Chain A
Amino acid sequence: MVSLPEMGIYFSLLLFLVGLFGVMMRKNIIFMMLSVEVMLNSANLAFVSASAATNTIDGQVSMFFVMAVAACEAGVGLAMIIALYRARATLEVDELRILRG
């Protein structure tokens, strides 16, 4: 029988892969950001599960840090996306190739 924290770790791995493939596959920047959020939350789940499994509080502290950073990241990221949309009138990431060598 798989314990609950162990299931949380596996689920967080699944979530992380979902987020990772979302970032790699989606073309819309907003969806890419959502996928990044999914990855961050999978990391949070891993932290909490590990915390429960080891009976320590460190993982839960880290989770709160990550949540705070994720909130900031979402705010800044969305602001940049709006600015980008105003400048280029598109959110298709393949169109934004100004870094091409």
Chain B
Amino acid sequence: MTNEMALSLIVLIPLLGALCNGFLLRSASVVWVCAVSTLAIALPFGLATYLFFTASLSNQVVSVSLFPWISVPFVDGSVFTLSYALTLDRLSVLFALIITGVGSLIHLYSGGYMSHEPRVYRFFAYLNLFIFSMLTLVLGSNMLVTFVGWEGVGVCSYLLIGYWYEDDANSMAAIKAFVVNRVGDVGFLLAMFFSFQLFHTLTYSEIATFVTQAPAGFFATHATVLTCLGLSLLLAVAGKSAQIPLYTWLPDAMAGPTPVSALIHAATMVTAGIYLMTRTSFLLVVSPVTMTTIACVGAATALFSATIGLAQTDIKRVLAYSTCSQLGYMVLACGVGLFQYGVAHVMIHAFFKACLFLGAGSVIYALHHEQDIRHMGGLFKKMPVTAVTFLLATLAIIGFPGFSGFFSKDAILAAAWTGPFGHPAFWFVGVITAGLTAFYMVRLTYLVFFGECRAHHPEQIHENHLGMTLPLIILAVLSVIGGAVALPEIWTGHSDVISEFLSPVLQPAQQVLAKVQAGHGAHLSPAAEGGLMGASVAVVLLCAIFAISVYRTGIDGAQKFTARIPALYALVRDKWRIDELYQCMIVAPLARLGEFFYSIIDRHVIEGAVNGFPEVLYAATSVSSDAQSGIVRSYLKLIFVGIVVFGVVLFI
């Protein structure tokens, strides 16, 4: 099999799986549906692994053009052509591996989690369609193919959040996610317009060639457009990766089934923004304004959503806000110019966050859809596998030394200080966020798995079967050892694996950065870097121990702190009331505008025109139809009058 064929199959097999599930397996049992859809993701994972070893390790780029797509002739005689092409380089192979690898585990898990649902084929068809869209997103050769995947994941996310559509709240959450994502899509469209205006192409490799060969003056003359381009991309990223100000959809997206939360809203879709920024890194680094804005947005989101996570009581919402927060870290890493650590954190975060979500799903499933952590507790003995894997993933996310999250988070924190666009303030925000993360994740784990059991029916709780625990075990192992890709330089003496691996992808950005001579990060001595690392570890450990000491007495342990600041606590518990702010600042005026358009423009102008035309016709025809009275004698009189008139006219 040629590499090109393998690349096409990676994208096509999940599509085939979706069609097969959607049309052929409508009445099949959940075992068959799950087997087919898992296979439709596992096969591409095998192919991606094959391509990883045959092509990507030797830095070979595989490209395949599936069909010519758009061809527009211009007035000056040139023709703009764009083909539906796929490209697999080192960045996309990494994402493809994450998507199909974590994806197939989650498909396997869904077979258990969704086993009691009616019409389960719909769920698996959407899941496969989602994987197809996501693979299109990361494998597209040009911005337009990426945009197809970008929209596709948005649609699948909408379908899956609203999977239990009988409930109004779920439908509203799905609509919210879709609409907020559309706001970000506007940014993507604008970015495409800007890049077409500047480079007359949308293909990434051509843009990269253009910017690396452009004279330094090019960047100075087009500085404004390039900054606008970067900020448009940031808007797109904020929509998809749930950054301030567009993050509000992600916590609500937890209305979907838990495997969806794990797959889409933690491991894959939300990382599309990080992929896009890394892919277009050479366009972002030319503008220090853009880079600083990205870093600020990332840092602000990391800190802000971590504070909300402190006071949530829904197990999935805590994880959702921690996802926002971790995505903030990744965006921060991209914003300071060290994109490879953002990608490393994407991968490691995919492992531990998928493990956390699937563990939460396992708990929710065992407790018959109970999601409130106030009604959990003491599950360690009842669900040992879930508890141990959840604990390992928690240690990974808080950055406990030696676990995967420690390495990627530490790399990001170091990058926030020393990166080309770094600043000590970013490091400071990152460390505070790490402390908050440690607090709320330890709080969550402790309240769910330790202490006394507060469940309604403790005797019914038992560990789930192997189909659900096997993915947990695999993901837990990965979230322990995944940090190997980002072993810091001060430990090993040479640069880390991920930087080496992604250096060809980030090469254009380096060249552009050297050309525009922007961004001079501080350089730290190994000793100072070790000191920073020690400081962050100390903060994390202190916060973790503090969390345990607070909640050791049970769920009410925090009351002696919250009672002193009731207003602030209520504000944090209500998510800083940002949703309410958006509601009255944006949604309500828009609704009023819509009401105006509906009641005035639509009801009177448009409906008036549409209904008025037949009314005029009807009035006109009723005059002539009234003449047809059916009274023969009046017809005769009319004939007589007609003849007389005719005769008069004829003879005069």
Residues of A at under 8 Å CB distance from B? 20, 23-25, 27, 93-94, 96-101
Contact B629 A24 (CB under 8 A): no
- Across the interface, A93 reaches (CB within 8 A) one of B626, B633, B640, namely B633
Query: Bound state CA distance, A18 and B557, in angstroms?
Result: 116
**In the assembled complex, B586 has its CB within 8 A of some CB on chain A:** no
Contact B633 A99 (CB under 8 A): no
- Across the interface, A99 reaches (CB within 8 A) one of B628, B637, B640, namely B628
The 8 A CB mask of B627-645 against A (1 = contact, 0 = none) is: 1111111001100100000
Query: Bound state CA distance, A100 and B636, in angstroms?
Result: 15
Query: Bound state CA distance, A96 and B636, in angstroms?
Result: 15
- Across the interface, A101 reaches (CB within 8 A) one of B626, B632, B633, B636, namely B626
Q: Could you list 11 further interchain pairs (A-B, Cβ under 8 angstroms) beyond the known A24-B637, A93-B632, A101-B625? A: A20-B640, A93-B631, A93-B633, A94-B633, A96-B630, A96-B632, A97-B629, A99-B628, A99-B630, A100-B628, A100-B629
A97 neighbours in B (Cβ, 8 Å) = 629-631
30 contacts between A and B (CB under 8 A): A20-B640, A23-B636, A24-B633, A24-B636, A24-B637, A24-B640, A25-B633, A27-B633, A93-B631, A93-B632, A93-B633, A94-B631, A94-B633, A96-B630, A96-B632, A97-B629, A97-B630, A97-B631, A98-B630, A99-B628, A99-B630, A100-B628, A100-B629, A100-B630, A101-B625, A101-B626, A101-B627, A101-B628, A101-B629, A101-B630
Give residues 584-636 of B contacting A (CB, 8 Å). 625-633, 636
Residues of B at under 8 Å CB distance from A? 625-633, 636-637, 640
B631 neighbours in A (Cβ, 8 Å) = 93-94, 97
A96 neighbours in B (Cβ, 8 Å) = 630, 632
Number of contacts between A and B (CB, 8 Å)? Answer: 30
A101 neighbours in B (Cβ, 8 Å) = 625-630
Query: Bound state CA distance, A27 and B632, in angstroms?
Result: 9
Please give me the residue from chain B that is nearest to A99 by CB atom: B630
Q: State the Cβ distance, A66 to closest chain B Cβ, in Å.
A: 19
Please give me the residue from chain B that is nearest to A29 by CB atom: B632
B626 neighbours in A (Cβ, 8 Å) = 101
B630 neighbours in A (Cβ, 8 Å) = 96-101
Q: State the Cβ distance, B594 to closest chain A Cβ, in Å.
A: 45
Query: Bound state CA distance, A91 and B625, in angstroms?
Result: 25
Query: Bound state CA distance, A101 and B622, in angstroms?
Result: 9
Please give me the residue from chain A that is nearest to B633 by CB atom: A24
Please give me the residue from chain B that is nearest to A101 by CB atom: B628
Closest 3 pairs between A and B when the two form their complex, measured CB to CB? A100-B630, A101-B628, A97-B630
Please give me the residue from chain A that is nearest to B621 by CB atom: A101
A24 neighbours in B (Cβ, 8 Å) = 633, 636-637, 640
B637 neighbours in A (Cβ, 8 Å) = 24
Of B626, B636, B637, B640, most A-chain CB atoms within 10 Å: B636
A99 neighbours in B (Cβ, 8 Å) = 628, 630
Query: Bound state CA distance, A94 and B194, in angstroms?
Result: 79
